[in-house]
Structure 1
Amino acid sequence: MSDRQSLRQLIRQRRRALSQTEQQIAAQQLLAQCQQHPGMLAAKRIALYLANDGELSTLPLIHWLWAQRKEVYLPVLHPFNPGHLLFLRYTATSPMTQNRFGIAEPELDVLQVLPHTNLDIICTPLVAFDETGNRLGMGGGYYDRTLAAWQQHRLGPKPLGIAHDCQQVDAIPCQSWDVPLPEILTPSRRWRFEVS
């Protein structure tokens, strides 16, 4: 586990070192990738995240999705089921709050909750990835739990990782609960993987 923690620290430092200009360019390049992505074009309900700690910004993408009349959902820490996520509809007027990790999320409103199985795509943040689609997250296991049914039965929304190019590493030390991703978008490339 210490290898994983060391890798997290290294890659988080690497992405935090990107300048504001580099971050803005990367966000625009991500948008361009998504504007040509068949799955994104076909999807109606897309889960995204708001960038934190140097993550690749999804704001240009979110604004474009709204303009395409697509529904955007954000993860919210489940209030009664620790370690799990809810997905709430996100609009330009959604009241926001900060969760215990200091990450912005929509205020909990049961009328805005969508079961994650009804999403078309879940865009997952990640700390690092390798060339076989293994994903290293922040260590809470939230997305691994959310994507467990997809991993076992290919049921529910397709996961799509989002990362800066600098977050690619040679290999990730994996655990049994890790869910490898079938696809990852970076500013420069669309990665597709054969995941078992």
Structure 2
Amino acid sequence: MSHHQPTSPLSRSEIRKNIRKARRNLSDLEQELAAKKININFFQHKKLTKNTRIGLYLSNDGELDTSELIQSLIDKKHQIFLPVIHPFNGTTLLFQRYEKNSPMKLNRYAILEPKLNCSHICPLYELDYLLMPLVAFDNFGNRLGMGGGYYDKTLAHYYKENLQKPELIGLAHDCQQVEQLPVEAWDVPLRQIITPSKFYQW
């Protein structure tokens, strides 16, 4: 066997493992700075009208810390909705209104989510923006998630019907960018990704 063989590109699971590790290795200070910068970067590129409805997530596993952005949005009187794992089908997400005093619980992944209250659920298409987590993204806007497929399944109808709302934006650390991800047939690239230092649009 010749040792001049080109190295095979990394698989999705290898990329996922490497990037999650890189992300978890960020220091508290780096995370804090990233949270400040993403907050500034978001408002620089998105001019929100009053009372905008925004789907966001609470950070976990070294993900970009969204607490500062959530705080700013609440201060500016926008409405925040957090993902709740669907109680019946368990593979899609519902988006529930989140306020300072919302009762929270840990879901099956030990991630905090609002305690289900059907009267506070917002249908996906009534959100103006959906800011999504991701594990890795590439130079073409392809997104690699945690592997559970929650966002893919939640957004399947949205893509099929080519809905205009919500506007989808991926949030990530700069270290989560790779040159090219191996893409599956069902993957839909994101048109916008915001990192602490950049705003990508495709």
Q: TM-score, normalised by structure 1?
A: 0.94
Aligned to 1:188: 197
Q: Is the 8 A contact 1:14 1:166 kept in 2?
A: yes
Cα distance in structure 2, aligned partners of 1:146 and 1:180: 15
* 1:78-157 matches, cutoff 5 A: 78-155=86-163, 156-157=165-166
Q: Is the 8 A contact 1:163 1:185 kept in 2?
A: yes
Aligned to 2:21: 13
What do the CA deviations read for 1:104-146 (whole angstroms, capped 9, x no partner)? 1000011111111110111000000001000000011111122
Cα distance in structure 2, aligned partners of 1:131 and 1:120: 25
Stretch deviating more after TM superposition (125-134 or 176-185): 176-185
What do the CA deviations read for 1:45-83 (whole angstroms, capped 9, x no partner)? 000000000000111100110011100000000010121
Aligned to 2:36: 28
Cα distance in structure 1, aligned partners of 2:200 and 2:157: 22
Q: Is the 8 A contact 1:148 1:179 kept in 2?
A: no
* 1:64-83 matches, cutoff 5 A: 64-83=72-91
Larger Rg: 2
Amino acid aligned to 1:162? L
Cα distance in structure 2, aligned partners of 1:8 and 1:29: 24
CA RMSD of aligned residues (A): 1.3
Consecutive unaligned residues of structure 1, counting only runs of 5 or more, are none
Cα distance in structure 1, aligned partners of 2:111 and 2:188: 23
Q: How many residues align?
A: 191
Stretch deviating more after TM superposition (184-193 or 148-157): 148-157
**Structure 2 residue corresponding to 1:177, chosen from 165, 186, 199:** 186
Q: Offset at 1:158?
A: 1.3
Consecutive unaligned residues of structure 2, counting only runs of 5 or more, are 1-9
Kindly report structure 1 stretches of 4+ aligned residues shifted beyond 6 Å.
none
Cα distance in structure 2, aligned partners of 1:192 and 1:148: 21
Amino acid aligned to 2:195? T
Q: Is the 8 A contact 1:147 1:159 kept in 2?
A: no
Amino acid aligned to 1:80? F
Cα distance in structure 2, aligned partners of 1:181 and 1:28: 23
Q: Is the 8 A contact 1:147 1:179 kept in 2?
A: no
SS in 2 for 1:36: helix
Q: Is the 8 A contact 1:126 1:161 kept in 2?
A: yes
Identity %: 49
Q: Offset at 1:18?
A: 0.4
SS in 2 for 1:15: helix
Cα distance in structure 1, aligned partners of 2:137 and 2:70: 23
Amino acid aligned to 1:177? W
